[in-house]
Structure 1
Amino acid sequence: MKPNIVEFVVHGRYALFSDPINRMGGEKLTYQVPTYEALKGILSSVYWKPTFTWVIDEVRILNPIRSQSQAIRPIMYGGGNTLSIYTYLSDVAYQVRAHFEWNMNRPELTHDRNENKHHNIAKRCIERGGRRDIFIGTRECQGYVEACNFGEGEGFYDNYGEMPLGVMFHGFTYPDEGNTQKLVARFWKPIMKDGIIQFKRPEECNIQRELLQTGTKVFTFEANNVMPVEQFDWCKEFGGEAVELG
């Protein structure tokens, strides 16, 4: 158990967790369970700073997995509308356990590494429903966050046994999080056991696809004389860009 663990439940009327690589086809089909990246995005909407990175430990599926299809008229890239069928999950509720770790690729934010401060802020934000709007997978699926104790209450899949879920999208490895100058998509093969999915850490996912070569922006505080910009000349070697925050 990490000392900066947070636990919460997120619920809503609809959810849509899909592989972003397949979304270009126009019609969206949801996974049966939430992805690591979707839960990380929900927690980032609750509270996030570049000083740390959220790590999702596990999720518990509370309600039965049910899907519902709806006819949608999305806007086409070239203008106008088209017709599509989106398949959503309906009446969803998930208990989530996560913790944060310092982003060691952000040396310019070393002064902000105060574990008690960020942990207490995160817990207060969860109690108040988050700092920003919560979306369960996609923008049209509004969600709500509440504090909870992970494992409390009854779940539909308690004592259900193991359920393999095949190959699923895990998440993105961004340049400033993976100690690399690449944007990488990760995949894995989860198994739900008694309604609980224990996530692999991002660096443990061995199925990966490189999407983009990019750089990392560096935050500096020249006005407060916390760290001079000259200390970050190394970032230019990788195509990075310094950003003044005076």
Structure 2
Amino acid sequence: MGYGIRLLVWGDYACFTRPEMKVERVSYDVMTPSAARGILEAIHWKPAIRWVVDRIHVLNEIRFDNIRRNEVGGKIPAGNVKKAMKGETVALCQYAADDRQQRATLLLRDVAYIIEAHFEITENAGPEDSAEKHYNIVLRRARQGQCYHYPYLGCREFPARFRLIEEDEPLPRSIHKGDKDLGWMLLDIDYKNNMTSKFFRAVMKEGVIEVPRMEEGGIAK
């Protein structure tokens, strides 16, 4: 176990998109571990450390809402990018007005979570990369609300506000009681194994979801 923190995050809207939905965006019921890791990395990340999410506390009632948004239907072909890298003259741009599509989104509203996580030192750490050094950096940045880029709740248009929960501070209480099976949920992307998507069975107990490590169980797709 490495050095850990507890982070309170909240926002007006969130959308943790289910990958099985191909056209419309449909959010999971709660924050995914990969989204939680993204928030932590927005505050502090270096190649010398790796964030591991231990558990997620769901504080507020799970409430869904529907919106419709204009999105771009396509993307710049990878082949054009490779041609441009070779010096060929190609168009590397998109005209949103010519490729606009309106899509529905089933999102979450008025969300609040506690992320319990720790970081571990990786093989990329240098002699100056001590655990104490990075831990103090994380604490300082989280206390002051600093981040490398503004964290978001699933989609960039849904910003996440955050604050550090100190060690001697009691945790905010969840409104959820009992157990609730949330089904299969995206755990994270295994970048070391051909970017394989890893899933786990998410069960919320008294508002808390225990997050397994990447190498523990789950299924890959």
Normalising by structure 2, we get a TM-score of 0.83
Give the match for residue 214 of structure 1. none
Count of matched residue pairs: 196
TM-aligned CA deviation for residue 190 of structure 1: 1.1
Of the three residues 151, 156, 170, the one matched with 2:175 is 156
Percent of pairs identical after alignment?
Answer: 29
Structure 1 runs (4+) deviating above 4 angstroms are: none
Give the match for residue 222 of structure 1. none
How do 1:201-240 residues align onto structure 2 when only pairs under 5 Å count? 201-209=213-221
Are 2:142 and 1:126 aligned?
A: yes
Give the match for residue 73 of structure 1. 70
How do 1:84-163 residues align onto structure 2 when only pairs under 5 Å count? 84-104=103-123, 106=124, 109-131=125-147, 132-149=149-166, 152-157=171-176, 160-163=177-180
Gaps of 5+ in 1: 210-246
* Counterpart-to-counterpart distance in 2, 1:15 and 1:136: 5
TM-aligned CA deviation for residue 5 of structure 1: 1.0
Deviation string, structure 1 residues 3-52 (Cα, Å, up to 9, x no partner)? 61111101000011123453xx3310000011110000010001000111
Q: Which is strand-richer, 1 or 2?
A: 2
Of the three residues 57, 61, 78, the one matched with 2:58 is 61
| Residues 184 and 200 in structure 2, CA contact (< 8 A), matched pair in contact too | yes
Give the match for residue 195 of structure 1. 207
- Considering only aligned residues, what root-mean-square deviation do their CA atoms show, in Å? 1.7
CA 1:112/1:173 → structure 2, altered by over 3 Å: closer, same or farther?
farther
Of the three residues 189, 198, 208, the one matched with 1:186 is 198
Higher relative contact order (CA 8 A, sep 6+): 2
Normalising by structure 1, we get a TM-score of 0.75
Give the match for residue 238 of structure 1. none
Deviation string, structure 1 residues 69-113 (Cα, Å, up to 9, x no partner)? 001111221642112110110000101111001123x3xx33243
Deviation string, structure 1 residues 189-231 (Cα, Å, up to 9, x no partner)? 011000000100111133012xxxxxxxxxxxxxxxxxxxxxx
